[in-house]
Structure 1
Protein backbone atom coordinates (compact mmCIF):
# COMPACT_ATOMS: atom_id res chain seq x y z
CA UNK A 1 0.00 0.00 0.00
CA UNK A 2 1.35 3.38 -0.99
CA UNK A 3 0.61 6.47 1.06
CA UNK A 4 0.45 9.93 -0.51
CA UNK A 5 2.79 12.54 0.90
CA UNK A 6 0.81 15.75 0.60
CA UNK A 7 1.96 19.07 1.90
CA UNK A 8 0.08 20.12 5.07
CA UNK A 9 0.13 23.73 3.89
CA UNK A 10 -1.61 22.66 0.68
CA UNK A 11 -4.38 20.96 2.69
CA UNK A 12 -4.72 24.04 4.89
CA UNK A 13 -4.94 26.37 1.89
CA UNK A 14 -7.50 24.18 0.09
CA UNK A 15 -9.59 23.82 3.25
CA UNK A 16 -9.55 27.56 3.90
CA UNK A 17 -10.58 28.22 0.31
CA UNK A 18 -13.49 25.77 0.47
CA UNK A 19 -14.72 27.07 3.85
CA UNK A 20 -14.41 30.70 2.73
CA UNK A 21 -16.32 29.97 -0.48
CA UNK A 22 -19.11 28.24 1.44
CA UNK A 23 -19.24 31.07 3.97
CA UNK A 24 -19.65 33.64 1.19
CA UNK A 25 -22.35 31.55 -0.47
CA UNK A 26 -24.11 31.14 2.87
CA UNK A 27 -23.90 34.83 3.68
CA UNK A 28 -25.25 35.91 0.31
CA UNK A 29 -27.98 33.26 0.33
CA UNK A 30 -27.11 31.67 -3.02
CA UNK A 31 -27.32 28.11 -1.70
CA UNK A 32 -29.54 28.69 1.34
CA UNK A 33 -33.00 30.21 1.61
CA UNK A 34 -32.17 32.50 4.51
CA UNK A 35 -29.25 34.89 3.90
CA UNK A 36 -29.49 36.13 7.49
CA UNK A 37 -26.06 34.94 8.51
CA UNK A 38 -23.61 32.12 8.78
CA UNK A 39 -23.97 28.65 10.24
CA UNK A 40 -20.72 28.20 12.18
CA UNK A 41 -21.43 24.55 13.02
CA UNK A 42 -21.71 23.68 9.34
CA UNK A 43 -18.52 25.55 8.47
CA UNK A 44 -16.60 23.84 11.29
CA UNK A 45 -17.88 20.45 10.16
CA UNK A 46 -16.72 21.16 6.60
CA UNK A 47 -13.34 22.38 7.88
CA UNK A 48 -12.87 19.09 9.75
CA UNK A 49 -14.24 16.67 7.17
CA UNK A 50 -12.83 18.19 3.97
CA UNK A 51 -9.15 17.38 4.68
CA UNK A 52 -10.02 13.88 5.88
CA UNK A 53 -12.01 13.02 2.75
CA UNK A 54 -9.46 14.70 0.50
CA UNK A 55 -6.73 12.53 2.02
CA UNK A 56 -8.85 9.39 1.57
CA UNK A 57 -9.37 10.23 -2.10
CA UNK A 58 -5.62 10.82 -2.52
CA UNK A 59 -4.95 7.49 -0.80
CA UNK A 60 -7.22 5.63 -3.20
CA UNK A 61 -5.70 7.48 -6.15
CA UNK A 62 -2.17 6.53 -5.05
CA UNK A 63 -3.07 2.86 -4.87
CA UNK A 64 -5.06 2.43 -8.07
CA UNK A 65 -3.18 0.37 -10.58
CA UNK A 66 -3.85 0.82 -14.24
CA UNK A 67 -3.74 -2.30 -16.35
CA UNK A 68 -2.36 -1.45 -19.79
CA UNK A 69 -3.94 -3.57 -22.48
Structure 2
Protein backbone atom coordinates (compact mmCIF):
# COMPACT_ATOMS: atom_id res chain seq x y z
CA UNK A 1 0.00 0.00 0.00
CA UNK A 2 1.38 3.37 -0.99
CA UNK A 3 0.83 6.56 0.95
CA UNK A 4 1.10 9.91 -0.83
CA UNK A 5 3.33 12.55 0.68
CA UNK A 6 2.08 15.90 -0.58
CA UNK A 7 3.21 18.93 1.40
CA UNK A 8 0.95 19.97 4.28
CA UNK A 9 0.84 23.50 2.90
CA UNK A 10 -1.03 22.13 -0.13
CA UNK A 11 -3.75 20.72 2.12
CA UNK A 12 -3.91 23.97 4.09
CA UNK A 13 -4.28 26.09 0.96
CA UNK A 14 -6.94 23.81 -0.54
CA UNK A 15 -8.88 23.69 2.73
CA UNK A 16 -8.75 27.46 3.13
CA UNK A 17 -9.93 27.92 -0.45
CA UNK A 18 -12.88 25.54 0.00
CA UNK A 19 -13.93 27.06 3.34
CA UNK A 20 -13.59 30.61 1.99
CA UNK A 21 -15.66 29.74 -1.08
CA UNK A 22 -18.39 28.19 1.05
CA UNK A 23 -18.35 31.17 3.42
CA UNK A 24 -18.79 33.60 0.53
CA UNK A 25 -21.63 31.53 -0.91
CA UNK A 26 -23.33 31.40 2.50
CA UNK A 27 -22.82 35.10 3.19
CA UNK A 28 -24.24 36.20 -0.15
CA UNK A 29 -27.16 33.78 0.06
CA UNK A 30 -26.39 32.01 -3.21
CA UNK A 31 -27.44 28.37 -3.40
CA UNK A 32 -29.87 28.73 -0.51
CA UNK A 33 -33.48 29.73 -0.09
CA UNK A 34 -33.02 31.18 3.37
CA UNK A 35 -31.60 34.54 4.38
CA UNK A 36 -27.93 35.29 3.84
CA UNK A 37 -25.63 34.63 6.78
CA UNK A 38 -22.79 32.47 7.99
CA UNK A 39 -23.06 29.09 9.68
CA UNK A 40 -19.80 28.81 11.63
CA UNK A 41 -20.46 25.24 12.78
CA UNK A 42 -20.82 24.04 9.20
CA UNK A 43 -17.63 25.83 8.15
CA UNK A 44 -15.69 24.26 11.04
CA UNK A 45 -16.96 20.80 10.11
CA UNK A 46 -15.90 21.34 6.51
CA UNK A 47 -12.49 22.66 7.62
CA UNK A 48 -11.91 19.51 9.70
CA UNK A 49 -13.30 16.87 7.37
CA UNK A 50 -12.10 18.19 4.01
CA UNK A 51 -8.38 17.44 4.58
CA UNK A 52 -9.14 13.99 5.94
CA UNK A 53 -11.31 12.97 3.00
CA UNK A 54 -9.00 14.53 0.43
CA UNK A 55 -6.10 12.53 1.91
CA UNK A 56 -8.14 9.32 1.77
CA UNK A 57 -8.93 10.02 -1.89
CA UNK A 58 -5.22 10.64 -2.56
CA UNK A 59 -4.36 7.29 -0.93
CA UNK A 60 -6.92 5.51 -3.09
CA UNK A 61 -5.61 7.18 -6.26
CA UNK A 62 -1.99 6.36 -5.39
CA UNK A 63 -2.86 2.71 -4.90
CA UNK A 64 -4.93 2.45 -8.06
CA UNK A 65 -2.04 3.91 -10.04
CA UNK A 66 0.47 1.55 -8.40
CA UNK A 67 -1.67 -1.50 -9.22
CA UNK A 68 -1.93 -0.46 -12.86
CA UNK A 69 1.86 -0.48 -13.30
Question: Does TM-score exceed 0.5, indicating one fold?
Answer: yes
Which structure dedicates a bigger proportion of its chain to helix? 2
TM-score (norm: length of structure 1):
0.90
Classify the secondary structure of the residue corresponding to 2:32. Answer: coil
Residues of 2 paired with 1:44 and 1:31: CA distance? 19
Shift of 1:54: 0.2
- Whether the 8 Å CA contact 1:26–1:35 is kept in 2: the answer is no
Unaligned ranges ≥5, structure 1: none
Unaligned ranges ≥5, structure 2: none
After superposing on structure 2, the runs of 4+ consecutive aligned residues of structure 1 that deviate more than 2 Å are none
TM-score (norm: length of structure 2):
0.90
Q: What is the root-mean-square deviation in Å for CA atoms of aligned residues?
A: 1.1
Residue 39 (1) aligns with residue 39 (2) = yes
